[in-house]
Structure 1
Amino acid sequence: MKKPQVQQLLLMVVLFSFMVANSQNKSKNNAPLFSNFTYQGDDQVYKDNPLKSDEFYTPILQGCYPDPAITRKGDDYYMVCSSFAMFPGVPVFHSKDLVNWTDLGGVLNDVTQFNPHDTGISAGVYAPGITYNPHNDTFYMIVTAFSGGLNNIIVKTKDPKKGWGNPIKLGFGGIDPSIFFDDNGKGYIVHNDAPDNGKERYNGHRVIKVWEYDVENDKVIPGTDKIIVDGGVDPAKNPIWIEAPHLYKKDGKYFLMCAEGGTGGNHTEVIFKSDNPKGPFIPAPGNPILTQKYFGRDRKNRVDWAGHADLVKGPEDKYYGVFLAVRPNEKNRVNTGRETFILPVDWSGEFPVFENGLVPLEPKLKMPKGVSENKTGKEGFFPNGNFTFKDDFTTTKLDYRWIGLRGPREKFITTSKKGLTINPFDINIKEVKPTSTLFYRQQHNSFSLTTTIDYKPKSDKDLAGVVALQNEGSNYVFGITMKDKDYYIVLQKNQKTRRDAAVNSTIVGSTKIDIKKSIQLQIKAKGDEYNFSYSLDGVNFVTVGGPVSGDILSTDVAGGFTGCLLGLYATSNNDASPE
Structure 2
Amino acid sequence: MSFLIKCCAGAALAFCSLVVANCSDTKSEIAAKTSSDAEDSNVETAAIFERFEYEGRDPEYLIGKSENEYWNPILPGSYPDPTIMRVEDDYYLALSSFGYFPGLPVFHSKDLVNWSLVSNAIDRPGMLDIDSVSFSRRGVWGPTIEYHNGRYSIASACSDCGGNFIVTADRPEGPWSDPIWLTDVGGFDPMLYFEGDKGWLLYHADPPGGPQYKAHGAIWIQEIDPVSFDRLSEPHMIVDRGSNVEEEPIYVEGPHIYKVDDYYFLSIAEGGTGLQHRQVVFRSKDLLGPYEPYENNPILSQAGLPFDQPNRITTTGHADLVETQNGDWWAVFLGTRNYTEKDYSAGRETYLMPVSWETGWPVIMSNDQRMPHKMPKPDLPEFVADGALLRGNFEIKDEFDTELGDDWVFIRAPETTWWETGEGELIIHPNGERLDNGRQPSIVSRRIQHNFFTAKTEVSLSASNSETEAGLVIYKSNLAYFTLGLVNNELGQAVLRLRERAGKDDVVGGRVLVEKVLGKTGDDNVELSIEMDGAIISFFYTYGDGVPQPLLVNGDASIVSPIRSWDFIGAMIGLYAAAE
> One fold, TM greater than 0.5?
yes
The one of 55, 64, 79 equivalent to 1:40 is 55
Instruction: Tell me if the contact between 2:76 and 2:349 (Cα under 8 Å) persists in the aligned partners.
Output: yes
The one of 131, 134, 156 equivalent to 1:143 is 156
How far apart, CA to CA, are the structure 2 residues paired with 1:47 and 1:361? 17
SS of 1:321's equivalent in the other structure is strand
How far apart, CA to CA, are the structure 2 residues paired with 1:391 and 1:139? 33
- Tell me which residue corresponds to 2:178: 166
What's the Cα RMSD here?
Answer: 2.2
- Tell me which residue corresponds to 1:490: 497
- Tell me which residue corresponds to 1:124: 139
Q: Which amino acid aligns with 2:198?
A: K
Shift, 1:195, TM fit: 2.0
| Deviation string, structure 1 residues 217-259 (Cα, Å, up to 9, x no partner) | 22223x4201111111122221111111111111031111000
- CA distance 1:468–1:51, change in 2 (3 Å): same
- Tell me which residue corresponds to 1:215: 226
How far apart, CA to CA, are the structure 2 residues paired with 1:409 and 1:330? 39
Instruction: Tell me if the contact between 2:37 and 2:43 (Cα under 8 Å) persists in the aligned partners.
Output: no
Shift, 1:281, TM fit: 1.1
Q: Which amino acid aligns with 1:209?
A: W
Segment of structure 1 superposing worse, 451-460 or 68-77: 451-460
- CA distance 1:459–1:147, change in 2 (3 Å): farther
Alignment: residue pair count: 543
In the superposition, the TM-score normalised over structure 2's length comes to 0.89
How far apart, CA to CA, are the structure 1 residues paired with 2:345 and 2:465? 33
The one of 520, 526, 531 equivalent to 1:519 is 526
Instruction: Tell me if the contact between 2:35 and 2:45 (Cα under 8 Å) persists in the aligned partners.
Output: no
Aligned pairs (5 A) from 1:61-100: 61-100=75-114
- Tell me which residue corresponds to 2:399: 392
| Deviation string, structure 1 residues 512-541 (Cα, Å, up to 9, x no partner) | 011441111111111111112111148322
The one of 246, 255, 263 equivalent to 2:265 is 255
How far apart, CA to CA, are the structure 1 residues paired with 2:568 and 2:62? 28
- Tell me which residue corresponds to 2:476: 470
The one of 56, 59, 68 equivalent to 1:54 is 68
Q: Which amino acid aligns with 1:39?
A: Y
- CA distance 1:387–1:482, change in 2 (3 Å): same
Segment of structure 1 superposing worse, 412-421 or 26-35: 26-35
How far apart, CA to CA, are the structure 1 residues paired with 2:392 and 2:315? 20
- Tell me which residue corresponds to 1:157: 169
Aligned pairs (5 A) from 1:12-411: 22-23=37-38, 27-48=42-63, 50-121=64-135, 122-133=137-148, 136-148=149-161, 150-170=162-182, 171-182=184-195, 184-197=196-209, 199-221=210-232, 223-299=233-309, 301-330=311-340, 332-347=342-357, 349-355=359-365, 358-372=368-382, 379-396=386-403, 398-408=404-414, 411=417
Q: State percent identity of aligned pairs.
A: 30
The one of 534, 547, 565 equivalent to 1:558 is 565
Q: Which amino acid aligns with 1:217?
A: S
SS of 2:173's equivalent in the other structure is helix
SS of 1:371's equivalent in the other structure is coil
- Tell me which residue corresponds to 1:10: none
- CA distance 1:473–1:23, change in 2 (3 Å): closer
SS of 1:556's equivalent in the other structure is helix
| Deviation string, structure 1 residues 76-118 (Cα, Å, up to 9, x no partner) | 1110111110101111111011011101242101111123111
Q: Which amino acid aligns with 1:98?
A: L
SS of 2:50's equivalent in the other structure is strand
Tell me, which stretches of 5 or more residues in structure 1 are unaligned?
Answer: 1-17, 575-579
- Tell me which residue corresponds to 1:448: 454
Shift, 1:200, TM fit: 1.8
Larger Rg over CA atoms = 1
Tell me, which stretches of 5 or more residues in structure 2 are unaligned?
Answer: 1-32
